[in-house]
């Protein structure tokens, strides 16, 4: 299950019909995200998405008003899920900034390996969104960055917040490289390498 699916949670009250509807919507969204990441937002039409999902136009519009709604549905829950997960990891190691950092890295690496297409959308398509959802995503991202700034300044006394943000964004660049990694290294080893490299970079003397 991807982070965006986890963030949405369940609201069906246990009914099988609602579960099926949600699952079909998630399936269509996953297909759309993959197409957007591979071809670019403007390189994909609703007809393309419908054909890939095996549904007709009216059925597709039953789930989403259009491509823009799909992009919003893909990106906002991811940002919400990252912030919630980051806060949970930060709270899990009171008075242990090294433990918090390792937990945050584990969390983000797992996310990055599970969601390469979503990362590609964030990198290349965020500006396609209208002002309101784009501002909301940017705010969620800033709050997530601050979780990292807090632990980095605790690990490196005297490190200014601005420099800690530089380090945090550099770490994200490393971990978010997953859309560009080949499959010649198995997933578990890729995760291990990303964790080692990110931890070493953030623990280096500043």
Closest CA to 57 of 48, 65, 67, 47: 47
The pLDDT score that the predictor gives to residue 122 is 86
pLDDT averaged per 10 residues, the chain (length 206): 38 39 79 90 90 84 89 91 96 94 97 90 86 94 97 97 97 90 85 96 90
What string of DSSP letters covers 51-113? Answer: HHHT--HHHHHHH-SSHHHHHHHHHHHHHHHHHHHHHHHHHTSTT-HHHHHHHHHHHHHHHHH
| Domains defined along the chain, listed by start | 22-64 (1.10.10.60), 66-203 (1.10.357.10)
For residue 165, give both structure tokens: 């943000």
The pLDDT score that the predictor gives to residue 9 is 37
Q: How many CB atoms lie within 10 A of CB 52?
A: 14
**Close Cβ partners of 85 (under 8 Å, ≥ 6 residues apart):** 3, 107, 111
Residue 100 burial by Cβ neighbours in a 10 Å radius (0-12, 13-18, 19+): buried
The C-alpha R_g of the chain, in whole angstroms, comes to 18
Closest CA to 190 of 82, 99, 109, 118: 109
The pLDDT score that the predictor gives to residue 22 is 54
Please give the Cα distance from 201 to 84 (Å, whole number): 24
């Amino acid at each position: 299950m991807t982070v965006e699916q986890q963030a949405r949670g369940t609201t069906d009250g246990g009914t099988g019909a609602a579960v099926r509807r949600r699952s079909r919507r998630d399936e269509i969204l996953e297909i759309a995200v993959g197409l957007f990441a591979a071809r670019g937002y403007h390189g994909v039409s609703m007809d393309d998405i419908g054909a890939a999902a095996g549904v007709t136009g009216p059925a597709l519009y039953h789930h989403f008003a259009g491509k823009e709604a799909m992009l919003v549905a893909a990106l906002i829950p991811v940002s919400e899920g990252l912030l919630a997960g980051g806060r949970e990891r930060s709270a899990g190691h009171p008075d242990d900034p090294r433990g918090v950092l390792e937990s945050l890295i584990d969390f983000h690496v797992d996310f990055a390996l599970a969601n390469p297409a979503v990362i590609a959308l964030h990198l290349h398509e965020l500006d396609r969104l209208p002002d309101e959802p784009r501002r909301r995503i940017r705010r969620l991202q800033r709050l997530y960055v601050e979780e990292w700034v807090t632990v980095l300044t605790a690990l490196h006394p005297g490190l200014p917040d601005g420099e800690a943000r530089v380090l945090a964004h550099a770490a994200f660049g490393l971990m978010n490289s997953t859309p560009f990694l080949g499959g010649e290294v198995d997933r578990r080893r890729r995760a291990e390498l990303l964790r080692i490299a990110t931890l070493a970079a953030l623990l280096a003397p500043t």
